[in-house]
Structures are given as C-alpha cells and as structure tokens.
A = this chain, B = another copy of it.
C-alpha cells in the first residue's frame, strides 16, 4: 500500500495507494478546515493547483454542519465534490486549542463547543465514529496534544494515556470498517507520536506505537511554540524510531524551510495553514522570498507575483492589481494570493520529489533555501 520508491540520505520518495487514488510523497496536504479552503477556493480550483490531498478538521465538521449531516450526504468526498484523498485530523488538537473549559479523563475529553458553548464529549471511539461518518481516506488517532512547556511528569502521564487511546482507536476503527453502512470501509488510520521536546519520551512512545502496525505515523505536538532548533532536534531523535516503510507525517508544519529540513530528516507528509492564512493577509511566497503585497512598492508593478509561475493568479494578474484588491478589501485579492501560495507549496513538493529521485536533495535544499531567504523583489 505504501512503498518507498527512492531514498536520498534520510529523505524518502514514497507512494501511498489509497481507495481514493495515489499520493506521491513528500506531499503537502492543503488545509480546508470546514470542508473548504479559506479564501474562496473550491475543490474545482484544487484540481488546477496540483493539490493531492485535502485535509479537513473533524472538530469543526462535527460542530457544523455535523458529521451525521455529512454522512447522510454521502461523506466528505461527495459533500465537497473531491474524488482524491482526504485526511481528517482527530479533533484532538482543536479540542485543546479552541474549545472552552475542558476536563481530560481516561475515557476522553469533556469540553464546550467554541461556536455555541454546548457540552461535547469526545474520546477515541467518538473521534473514530465521526471520522468514519466523514468517510475520509485517512483518519488520525485521537491523542492529547499537551502544551509544549508541559513538565516531564505531566508529559509522561499524557503520553501513556495517548498510547492507551491509540489502542482504542485502532479497535474502534476495525469495528467501524466492518459495519455494513460504513461509507469508506477501507479508511486508513495513522497514529500520532507525542512527548513534547523530551527526546526520551518521544523515542519510548515511538517504539510503542511502531509495534501497533498502523497505516502511517505522525509526529504531533511540534510547531506549537517551541524553537525550530528544538523541532529539528526532536525529528533527528524520533524519526529513526518510526517505521520507515510507513508514511511519516509531521503535523501542522510549516514554512517552506521547515518542510525542506523535515524532508531531509525522513518526513514525507505535511500540512499547514500558512499558505492560505498568509495569502489572506497578502503575504505571498516566491523563490526569491516572501512579498507583502500591501507594500507601496507594488503600486505600479505590472509583473505577476512570480515571473514564470503557472498559478491562476500569476497567469493573468499583476502585483499592482492584486495589491489594489487587497487594499480595497476585495475578496478576490485574498483568493488570488491563496491560490498562488498553495500552488507554490504544491510545486515545491513536486521539486522535492524530483530531487530525492535524482539523489540531489541536499543540493536542491541548499539552493532553494539560499534563494528564498533573499530580500523582497
């Protein structure tokens, strides 16, 4: 199902076969929180900007429109009209970052909806049931994502519970995939490694979950406030203990530089809101650095965001026009910037795959980083 096609150092060039088609890795999954990419981008648009995997958020869809509604409409793929792979997160991260007052118990988490305050309970079984209703291609295990500054005793206790929860997730997923009315009975399950920035806890946890034979392994609880150096140190420590013959997913990461560094450490799945969030604020990526299109220097700039870029914004519109749209608060400005940024990320992943195949990943990475840290142009 998952095959490593080539390696270059620790960097993996993989291929994951799913019921919704093939995922060529390394891959950047495009985040559509509430079953839509923010910035007025549709799944039809995604077909034109090299998106391989759409990622939606279980927590958001559970509170609105409700996973029962999505199930009655045939699952997320039918709902969004997207026939390629979809990954859903477990809801855990949002429960810990968005929800109001919450109590964590062995059975799961009690919390209040951030929309209407109503009480919700979510545990491993509930998360699996919701994700089964959504019928995504890949479901994520329900874990606790502790604060990056949690102390060692708390972290140890939390990670042990996350391991127990993972066992329950696996069992519940097996049960759900066997039910007659399950939309996607071949739904995959990825486990999540936790442990904050404690290398030994991370490694011990990695060994435990590696033994559980899941469809893929994610590293959670990074990119939540720790330094880049800490993140890379943890990747250096823990990735060797995750099965290399399974997908390796670094959750919520990150900048182009973060991705380039993580690929070099063996990661091949990524997701992040940066390209869409930055795009909505007029910050756009180029191979010569990030531009802030609100800057007055672009007022009369008739060039595209990036010369030679094939995205829907660059193919047609100028920096000057997009800057005007952003200044005038026209949604179209945000849409064009988001389309450009996602295209930039998706294209970079294409380049990464090619470089790993060719065995020149280190040179590619050095070159890309050297250019991107350039000044605004």
Q: Pick the contact of A73: B69, B302, B327, B336 (CB < 8 A).
A: B302
Q: Is the pair A334, B332 in contact by a Cβ cutoff of 8 Å?
A: no
Report the bound CA distance from A37 to B335 in whole Å: 13
**Is A316 among interface residues, defined by CB-CB distance under 8 A?**
yes
Report the bound CA distance from A327 to B331 in whole Å: 18
Contacting residues, chain B, for A39 (C-beta < 8 A):
40, 331
Q: Is the pair B321, A81 in contact by a Cβ cutoff of 8 Å?
A: yes
**Is A299 among interface residues, defined by CB-CB distance under 8 A?**
yes
Contacting residues, chain B, for A43 (C-beta < 8 A):
316
**Is A44 among interface residues, defined by CB-CB distance under 8 A?**
yes
Report the bound CA distance from A44 to B316 in whole Å: 8
**Is A287 among interface residues, defined by CB-CB distance under 8 A?**
no
**Is A65 among interface residues, defined by CB-CB distance under 8 A?**
yes
Q: Pick the contact of A330: B34, B302, B317 (CB < 8 A).
A: B34
Q: Mark A51-84, 1 if CB is under 8 A from B, else 0.
A: 0000000001000110001001110001111000
Q: Pick the contact of A40: B35, B40, B44 (CB < 8 A).
A: B40
**Is A366 among interface residues, defined by CB-CB distance under 8 A?**
no
**Is A312 among interface residues, defined by CB-CB distance under 8 A?**
yes
| Distance from A375 Cβ to chain B, minimum over Cβ atoms (Å) | 24
Q: Is the pair A65, B330 in contact by a Cβ cutoff of 8 Å?
A: no
| Distance from A7 Cβ to chain B, minimum over Cβ atoms (Å) | 39
**Is A41 among interface residues, defined by CB-CB distance under 8 A?**
yes
| Distance from A289 Cβ to chain B, minimum over Cβ atoms (Å) | 24
| Oligomeric state, in copies | 2
CB-CB nearest in chain B for A317 = B81
Report the bound CA distance from A35 to B333 in whole Å: 11
| Distance from A145 Cβ to chain B, minimum over Cβ atoms (Å) | 23
A324-B44 contact given A39-B331, A73-B318, A300-B69, CB 8 Å threshold: no
CB-CB nearest in chain B for A302 = B73
Q: Is the pair B299, A65 in contact by a Cβ cutoff of 8 Å?
A: yes
Q: Pick the contact of A72: B64, B69, B300, B316 (CB < 8 A).
A: B300
Report the bound CA distance from A78 to B302 in whole Å: 9
| Distance from A360 Cβ to chain B, minimum over Cβ atoms (Å) | 37
| Distance from A77 Cβ to chain B, minimum over Cβ atoms (Å) | 12
Contacting residues, chain B, for A335 (C-beta < 8 A):
40, 42, 331, 335
Q: Is the pair B328, A41 in contact by a Cβ cutoff of 8 Å?
A: no
Contacting residues, chain B, for A35 (C-beta < 8 A):
321, 324-325, 328
**Is A36 among interface residues, defined by CB-CB distance under 8 A?**
yes
Report the bound CA distance from A317 to B79 in whole Å: 8
Q: Is the pair B328, A331 in contact by a Cβ cutoff of 8 Å?
A: no
CB-CB nearest in chain B for A320 = B73
Contacting residues, chain B, for A207 (C-beta < 8 A):
none
Contacting residues, chain B, for A114 (C-beta < 8 A):
none
Q: Is the pair B44, A312 in contact by a Cβ cutoff of 8 Å?
A: yes
| Distance from A273 Cβ to chain B, minimum over Cβ atoms (Å) | 14
Known interface pairs A38-B331, A69-B299, A73-B302; 5 further A-B residue pairs with C-beta atoms within 8 A, sorted by A's residue number: A34-B325, A36-B333, A37-B332, A73-B321, A79-B321
Please name 30 pairs of A and B residues whose Cβ atoms are closer than 8 Å in the assembled complex, sorted by A: A34-B325, A34-B330, A35-B325, A36-B332, A37-B332, A38-B330, A39-B40, A39-B331, A40-B334, A40-B335, A41-B332, A42-B317, A44-B316, A64-B324, A65-B299, A65-B324, A65-B327, A69-B300, A69-B320, A69-B324, A72-B300, A73-B302, A73-B321, A74-B302, A78-B302, A79-B320, A79-B324, A331-B331, A331-B334, A331-B335
